[in-house]
Amino acid sequence: MSISYVPVVDEAYKKAVAGLRKDMREFIKEKNCAPLMLRLAWHDAASYCKKTRTGGPNGSIRLEAELNYKPNAGLRTAVGWCEEWRKKFPLVSFADIVQLGGVLAVELTGGPAIDFMPGRKDSSISTPEDRLPDPHKDAAHLRQLCDRLGLRDKEIVVLSGGHTIGRAHKERTGFEGPWTREPFKFDNGYFKELLGAEKEGLLRMPTDKALVMDAGLRKYVEAYAKDNSLFLRDYAAAHKKFSELGCRETSPSFALAVTAAEAAAKHSGSRRGSGGSGAAAGSLSNQLSLSLLGQSAVGIAATVLVCILGYLYEMRRRAA
Measured CA distances, 311 to 153, 314, 318 (Å): 63, 5, 11
Measured CA distances, 317 to 43, 304, 305 (Å): 65, 20, 18
As a whole number of angstroms, the distance between CA 260 and CA 8 comes to 11
Cβ neighbour number for residue 224 with a 10 Å cutoff: 27
Residues 6+ apart with CB under 8 A from 125: 54, 60
Q: Are 202 and 193 in contact (CB under 8 A)?
A: yes
Rg (CA), the chain: 23
> Catalytic: which of 43, 136, 141, 169?
43
Q: Are 245 and 57 in contact (CB under 8 A)?
A: yes
Amino acid, res. 59: G
DSSP-H helix ranges across 167-251:
170-173, 189-195, 206-213, 215-226, 228-242, 247-250
Measured CA distances, 49 to 127, 136, 201, 204, 235 (Å): 10, 21, 36, 27, 21
Q: Are 91 and 13 in contact (CB under 8 A)?
A: yes
Among this protein's residues, is 136 annotated catalytic? no
**Residue 290: strand pairing partners:** none
Give the residue numbers marked as catalytic.
43
